[in-house]
Every structure is written in structure tokens, then in C-alpha cells.
Amino acid sequence: MLYMIFGGSGSGKSEYAEDLAVKLCPEEKIYLATLQDIDEEMEKRIEDHRTMRKGKHFTTVEQGLALETLDVSGQKLVLLECMTNLLANEMYSPKAQKEEPVADYIMRGIRHIKGQVEDLIVIAQDSFSEVPMDPEMRRYVRESGRVNQKLAKEADVVIEVKFGLPLMLKGELPLELKGDGTV
């Protein structure tokens, strides 16, 4: 199944997605990290996420571009953190492909990974809470909207996390995970 977990910055989406991943697959699983370590703030975020994952049986794979080249065959679950960073990498990296629309290219990579695993959880940022003034930022927000719409359309389950609370927007969690709405 393809799960899309999204929310604003600090919403609790990453913690929710990791807990969901552990419930779906208690054994070893892949944490696909797309954030590139470019400054001290990013380094701190990466370290915070590593701390959150301790003891949850994640093997970290760092790949911020070209998901269609990734071989995760034989894995049960992949958690991709996060679509927002992947989009920025694909839009602005000199190594990124430029032949097809970025949202289509990213979705081709998502389908490639999904075809190799039972469950794929993709974390995405809700980047529409503010309207940026800078034209390039507006372009990025539009592309974020395009890729998130495509992802939500193909996802079996879409959950928005606000203030640490999950809101089911599409689909259902597997029966064994249902209950009070938390995982």
C-alpha cells in the first residue's frame, strides 16, 4: 500500500509516520532520507530524526535524487522522508534531470519504489500555509502542490497530521491498526 502522511512544519507527521511504519513492519525496514546536509540547521534536523528512529529497526538509505535508480527489492517497507526535500533536490540540484516535468519524474520514482515493496510511506510537507512573495518560492509551492496532488491521487491512504493528531482524508488503515485513530 502507498501511504501519504502530510502536515505543516512541527505538526508531528514524522513521528506519526515512523510509528505507523513500526506497526506495519516491526522488523527491519528502510528509512529513505532525502534531506541533504547543507548547513548547521539541516545537520541538526538530521540528527534529531536519527534520534527519533533509534530502536525502531530502520536502516537508513540516503538518496535525494533519482528514486528510479534505487533498488530496495526484498524489503517489506520503505518510509520516505520527505517529499518536500526530494522536490527541492529535483528542482534545484545541478545533477537533477530536466527532461520531464518534475512532478511526473518524482512520481515515476515513487512508483518504482512502490513496485518493490509491500508498503511505502511518504511524508510530505503542507507548504500552503503562507503565500511566498519571491517568484521562485511561488514556483516551488506550485510544484509542491502538483506533486502532492499526484501522490494523494495514487495513494491508498492519505493522512494529515495537525498538532500531533491524525486526520484520515482517504482510505483506511489496516484493521489491526484501527482503534482510537493513533498508531
pLDDT tens across 85-103, in order? 999 999 998 888 778 999 9
Run of H or E including 83: helix 83-92
Domains of the chain: 2-170 (3.40.50.300)
Q: Is 72 in contact with 113 (CB distance < 8 Å)? A: yes
- Gap between the Cα atoms of 183 and 179, Å rounded: 8
pLDDT tens across 95-126, in order? 887 789 999 999 999 999 999 999 999 999 88
Long-range CB contacts (within 8 A, 24+) of 137-140: 140/87, 140/88, 140/91
Stated pTM of the model: 0.88
